[in-house]
Amino acid sequence: MQDFFIPSSLIIQEKCCLNDFEALHTQLIAGETSCEKITQAYLRRIEQKKNLHAFLHVFADEAAERARTVDRKLADGTAGPLAGMVIAVKDVICMKGHPVTCGSRMLENFISPYDATVIQRLDAADAVVIGKTNMDEFAMGSSTENSAFGVTLNPMDESRVPGGSSGGSAVAVAASMATTALGSDTGGSIRQPAALCGVVGLKPTYGRVSRYGLVAFASSFDQIGSFGSTVRDVAYVLQTIAGHDPCDSTSADLSVPDYLKALTGDVKGLRVGIPTEYFTSALEAEISGPIMQKVDLLKRHGASIKEISLPHSEYTIATYYILSTAEASSNLARYDGARYGRRAPGVKDLLEMYTQSRSEGFGNEVKRRIMLGTYVLSAGYYEAYYRKGQKVRRLIKQDFDRAFQEVDCLITPTSPTSAFKIG
């Protein structure tokens, strides 16, 4: 519901806006511009805004060649639905023959041997991938300060963080370096940077999008989603990447609805819930005020507003940090210096190889979470922490199940504060 102002500097020669996929696609079909021109405009923008450090890898030549291929398809009428969409990809998602660093020294030189399912689907729809974006290491963080390769800056105020862990993807869209971007969300890693950068971010329901080719942090939480300047742009991406995947046993075997057709703008009769636990004194007035203005706008357009309760909300962060770190400890055990990733040189034995490789390869935040996760899974503490965390997770889910018997959706703040200062 936010209005997005597009400065004139972002209008390319053909007078179409880099932040509106539908406008670009319409002009492509009419022959008023080309995919190659659009891609080159984004590449120039990336060069102009490289100080923001949104990208770890830019595929300039490959993207330009891909754009020329799409233009040939447009000429013969065989182009896919995302022709003209230039998309950035968080560097936690695998692309064959390209680096996938996860923002970590551990995978600094690792090249993916295969494409993630979402990349295959974007490719089939004729999107152009322009590069891989910066992120908090192994998606652990909420500021993109934890990347081993430097901090990403918020384009609205370069002294502030863009949020995380998908900060590079959010900045790529906010600063018009890509039409849309892929991110991953384990505990807010799409939603929070989208909010802090003033763009749209969507974390789909777990299982809606295949996780095949997404490097794991916490497997029962992780989900791939997208960023865009408009809700419709995000819907185009979801329409393409959603759906069952036999390569991912956790992907939902459900039909994919027409998301774009559902975006009518009609909210008459919509039942909107306001969780009382989310609007406390800890919430800054500059955030709560605009939210309630939008609630009033919904009400004026025919939506019904109802206060609801999610009584176990106070336990969510503690539960998240127990369960997600436990899964992280298990998932990151594979980075041992033996098979792939960083191997410390000059070690004397196997134990020293494990210790040195992991000590050199992982940053402090990742080490903290591995240690916490190992602790809560250890003998004598498993029942007290991990098992209890799973039980509380069920109670939290039941709160939402009850709420959605009364309302169709919830309006909540994404972050209790606006973007905070770097450091």
| Cα gap 47→55, rounded to integer Å | 10
Is it the case that residue 8 has pLDDT exceeding 50? no
What confidence tens digit (pLDDT) does each residue in 233-269 have? 999 999 999 999 999 999 999 999 999 999 999 999 9
Q: Is the pLDDT of residue 6 over 90?
A: no
Ordered strands of the 128-133 beta sheet:
55-58, 128-133, 86-90, 180-185, 223-228, 200-202
Looking at residue 20, its pLDDT comes to 87
Structure confidence by residue, pLDDT tens digits, 319-358: 999 999 999 999 999 999 998 899 999 999 999 999 999 9
| SS3 assignment, position 271 | strand
How far lies 163's CA from each of 207, 226, 421, in Å?
24, 15, 10
What mean pLDDT comes out for the span 275-285? 92
Q: CA-to-CA distance for 214 and 207, rounded, in angstroms? A: 13
Return the higher-pLDDT residue of 18 and 151.
151
pLDDT at 295 over 90: yes
Cβ atoms 145, 114 nearer than 8 A = no
Q: What is the pLDDT of residues 104-156, one digit of tens each?
A: 999 999 999 999 999 999 999 999 999 999 999 999 999 999 999 999 999 99
Domain ranges of the chain: 8-262, 266-423
121: nearest Cα among 162, 77, 87: 87
Residue 333: how many CA atoms within 13 Å on its side-chain side?
9
Mean pLDDT of 150-171: 98
User: How confident is the model at residue 17, as a pLDDT?
Assistant: 62
**314: how many CB neighbours lie within 10 A of its CB?**
9
Q: Evaluate if residue 208 carries a pLDDT over 80.
A: yes
Catalytic residue positions?
90, 165, 189
Confidence class of residue 12 from pLDDT cuts 50, 70 and 90? very low
> Among the CATH numbers 3.90.1300.10, 1.10.40.60, 3.40.50.2000, 3.10.580.10, which is that of 8-262?
3.90.1300.10
For residue 73, pLDDT beyond 90: yes
* Residue 9 scores a pLDDT above 70: no
Q: pTM of this prediction?
A: 0.94
Q: How confident is the model at residue 2 (pLDDT cuts 50, 70, 90)?
A: very low
Q: Average of pLDDT values for 46-73? A: 98
Rounded-to-integer distance, Cα 360 and Cα 260, Å: 46
User: Is the Cβ–Cβ distance between 113 and 158 less than 8 Å?
Assistant: no
Share of the chain above pLDDT 70, in %: 96
